[in-house]
Amino acid sequence: MSVSDLAIPLLLCFVGAYGAARRVDVYAALTKGAEEGLGVLLRVLPSLVALLTAVYMFRASGAMDCLAALLAPLLAALGIPPETAPLLLIRPISGTGALAVGSELMERCGADSYVGRVAAVMLGSSETTFYTAAVYCGAAGVTRTRHTIPAALFADGVMFVLSAFAVRMVFGT
Amino acid sequence: MAMTWLWTGMVSLSLLFGAATGNLGALGGAALDGARSAVELCVTMAGVMCLWTGVMEVMERSGLSGLLARAFRPLLRRLMPRASRDPETLAAVSANLSANMLGLGNAATPLGIRAARLMARGGNGTASDDLCLFVVLNTASIQLFPTTVAGVRAALGAAEPFDILPAVWLASGVAVAAGAGMARLLARVWRERP
């Protein structure tokens, strides 16, 4: 048994006890939140069906391997596994698209494999850059965004390199 | 429309590549496999995801996210000196960032829009340094518990779905810092007032 085995039970216990001590109806909040999670899934499902269909076709046709081979020299120099090439391209554009590409990678290479873990870390460490920037700048009525997008894409690039590095550091290859 | 081009492009490219590489026969089966696996994925990850969004809701209602928001304020005063002078903006920004950290997307977006609006006042459609930095902090994720990814990993048979957390914290933490640093650097190139 390791520390991470205890992390989830401890967190559940702490959140429950803290909430109860603050006189929060913990059970009602838990079920309300779970209902919201179900709503998120329902919103994601239709586009996931469309995108996974396209991703599976893209892979079966050999186009995905071709894309990965094309970007492999650059990615290898940065220490990023070339299999993740399609994920890098779609991550800033579409959240569900990235989820589709990433889950296909995890399924194909194995959730606990090096590539599968890198894909998971890339998904968990980033937002859909263009969508997020569009929502906030649009709502604020800002049309001249100046250096927002270049700086955000730079952060994405750093995140991609670091995801691979961090997985190697924590798990070995 | 962007997604229309992306989706149609991918499907058409598949057809072209399939014809070129002789994999054309596999495309139909792959399309059906993809559609089926999307539903399978959603069903198998539903349990983990719902549990965590539930836990996050408890955290929000019990004031844990409020505590986190207060902890952010000293840091934000240094990062966004001008916007933090207005207490209302500072409150919205710190609440948005703490909601993001806890993965409360539904709470984070309205708070973020409020903060962005307050920061854009009097800017005539041009983003201020502080607003640029704020958007960059939001596009680089700072989520402590990436519940969706953990759900996918659990659905695909990972032994410990959350064992990627240290790697996620390292990657996203450094990426946020790099984005903020780059935003400050570029702010000198793209001047606020030409």
CA distance A120 to A132: 20
Residue B91 scores a pLDDT above 70: yes
Residue B86 scores a pLDDT above 80: yes
Chain B hits for A165, CB-CB cut-off 8 Å, are 171
Chain A residue with Cα closest to B123: A142
- The domain ranges of chain A are 44-171
Q: How far A63 CA lies from chain B's nearest CA (Å)?
A: 6
Predicted confidence (pLDDT) per residue in B161-175, tens digit? 889 999 999 999 999
- Report the b/e string of A92-128 with b at 16+ CB within 10 A: bebbbbbbbbbbbbbbebebbbbbbbbbbbbbbbbbb
Residue B154 scores a pLDDT above 60: yes
Q: Which residue has the higher pLDDT, B175 or B194?
A: B175
Contacts of B148 (CB under 8 A, 6+ apart): A40, A99, A123, B45, B49
Q: For residue A61, which amino acid is it? A: S
Q: How far A83 CA lies from chain B's nearest CA (Å)?
A: 17
Per-residue pLDDT band at B68 (split at 50, 70, 90): confident
Q: How far A39 CA lies from chain B's nearest CA (Å)?
A: 9
* pLDDT > 90 in chain B, percent: 45
Chain B hits for A114, CB-CB cut-off 8 Å, are none
CA R_g for chain B: 21
Residue with tokens 């519940």: B147
Report CB contact under 8 Å: B170, A7.
Answer: no
Which burial class, exposed, middle or buried, applies to A74 when counting CB atoms under 10 A from its CB (0-12, 13-18, 19+)? Answer: exposed
Report CB contact under 8 Å: B190, A146.
Answer: yes
Q: How far A72 CA lies from chain B's nearest CA (Å)?
A: 19
Closest-CA residue to B98 (of B64, B54, B146, B132): B64
How many helices, marked H, and strands, marked E, lie in chain B? 8, 0
pLDDT of residue A4: 60
Chain A hits for B33, CB-CB cut-off 8 Å, are 56
pLDDT of residue A11: 86
Chain B hits for A50, CB-CB cut-off 8 Å, are 7
Chain B residue with Cα closest to A63: B17
Report CB contact under 8 Å: A40, B146.
Answer: no
* Mean of pLDDT over chain B: 89
Mutate to test the interface with B, among A61, A91, A161 (most CBs of B within 10 A): A61
Chain B hits for A106, CB-CB cut-off 8 Å, are 152-153, 156
Q: Enumerate residue ranges in chain A where pLDDT < 70.
A: 1-5, 173
Q: Tell me, what's the ipTM?
A: 0.87
- The domain ranges of chain B are 46-189
Q: How far B74 CA lies from chain A's nearest CA (Å)?
A: 23
Token pair recorded at residue A41: 């899934």
| Out of B105, B131, B153, closest to residue A140 by CB | B131
Q: Which residue has the higher pLDDT, B45 or B185?
A: B185
Token pair recorded at residue B37: 């696996």
Predicted confidence (pLDDT) per residue in A64-103, tens digit? 889 889 999 999 999 999 999 999 999 998 889 999 999 9
Per-residue pLDDT band at B184 (split at 50, 70, 90): very high
The torsion of the CA quartet A154, A158, A159, A160, rounded to 10 degrees, works out to 100
CA distance B163 to B151: 12
pLDDT of residue B48: 83
